[in-house]
Chain A
Amino acid sequence: MNIPTIAEMKLNGEQPEVLFWVGCAGSYDLRAQKITKAFATILNKLEIKFAILGKEEMCTGDPARRAGNEFLFQMMAYNNIQLLNNYEIKKIVTACPHCFNILKNEYPELGGNYEVIHHTTFLQQLIDDGKIKLTDSNSFKGKRITYHDSCYLGRSNNIYEAPRKVLEILDADLVEMKRCRSNGLCCGAGGAQMFKEDEPGDKRINTERTEEAIATGASIIASACPFCNTMLTDGVKNAEKEADVRVMDVAEIIAASME
Chain B
Amino acid sequence: MHIIQQVAFILVVLIATGLFIKKISRIKRNILLGQDEDLSDHPSTRWRNVLLLALGQKKMFRYPLVAIMHFVIYAGFIIINIEVLEIALDGLLGKHRIFSGFMGHTYSWLLNSFEVLAVLVLTACICFLVRRNGIKVKRFMKRELDGWPRSDANYILITEIILMTLFLTMNTADRALQLQGYNGYHDTGNFIFSGMFAPAFQNFSSQTLIAIERTCWWLHIVGIFTFLNYLPYSKHLHIILAFPNAYYIRLKPQGKIPNMPDIQNEVLYSMQPELAPVNDPAAAPKRFGAKDVFDLSWRNLLDAYSCTECGRCTAACPANITGKKLSPRKIMMDTRDRAEAVGRNIDQNKEFKDDGKVLLRDYITEEELRACTTCQACVQECPVGIDPLNIIMQLRRYLVMEESSAPAEWTGMFGNIENNFAPWKLSPDERDKWTES
Contacts and interface: CB of A to CB of B under 8 A. Distances in A.
Q: Chain A interface: which size bin? A: 35 or more
Contact of B375 (A67, A151, A157): A151
A234 interface: no
Contacts of A155: 254-255, 375-377, 379-380
Interface stretch (B43-51, B188-196, B428-436): B428-436
A105 B258 CA distance: 10
A68 interface: yes
Q: Chain B interface: which size bin? A: 35 or more
Contacts of B257: 65-66, 106
A63 interface: yes
A68 B259 contact: no
A80 B45 CA distance: 33
A22 B376 CA distance: 25
B56 to A, nearest CB: 18
A22 B316 CA distance: 31
Contact of B422 (A28, A105, A183, A203): A28
Contact of A57 (B253, B319, B372, B431): B431
A37 B434 contact: yes
Contacts of A185: 318, 321, 377
B367 A195 contact: no
Interface string A165-178: 00000000000000
B434 A196 contact: no
A206 to B, nearest CB: 9
B413 A28 contact: no
Contacts of A205: 318-319, 321-322, 373
B263 A28 contact: no
B268 A78 contact: yes
18 contacts: A1-B434, A28-B426, A57-B431, A69-B414, A78-B268, A101-B256, A155-B376, A155-B377, A155-B379, A156-B376, A188-B318, A196-B409, A198-B324, A201-B322, A201-B325, A204-B322, A205-B322, A208-B321
Interface of B: 62, 252-257, 259-260, 263-264, 266-268, 271, 288-289, 316, 318-319, 321-326, 367, 370-377, 379-380, 393, 396-401, 406-407, 409-410, 412-414, 417-418, 421-424, 426, 428-437
